Amino acid sequence: MVTYGCLTLLFLFAIVKSVLYYTRRDRIIAPQELDAQLLQLINHEERVP
């Protein structure tokens, strides 16, 4: 019985994660844009000795 409860929680977790992914997928950054943002962040970072 405990096993069925654990499986139910696992499936609910997977469903929630899938729904969150599909609702936020338009906010996912393309790899090229991510690289450009990271390079910009690294190059414009103030360096403190």
Range of the domain at 33: 2-43
What is the model's pTM? 0.51
pLDDT digit string (tens) for 4-46? 999 999 999 999 999 998 888 777 788 899 899 888 888 876 6
CA pair distance 49, 38, nearest whole angstrom:
21
- Residue 16, in any domain of the structure: yes
The per-residue pLDDT of the chain, averaged, comes to 87
- Residue 21, in any domain of the structure: yes
- Residue 12, in any domain of the structure: yes
- Yes or no: say if 30 and 38 are a contact pair by the CB < 8 Å rule: no
37: Cβ contacts below 8 Å, ≥ 6 apart? 29
Please give the tally of structural domains in the chain: 1
pLDDT at 8: 97
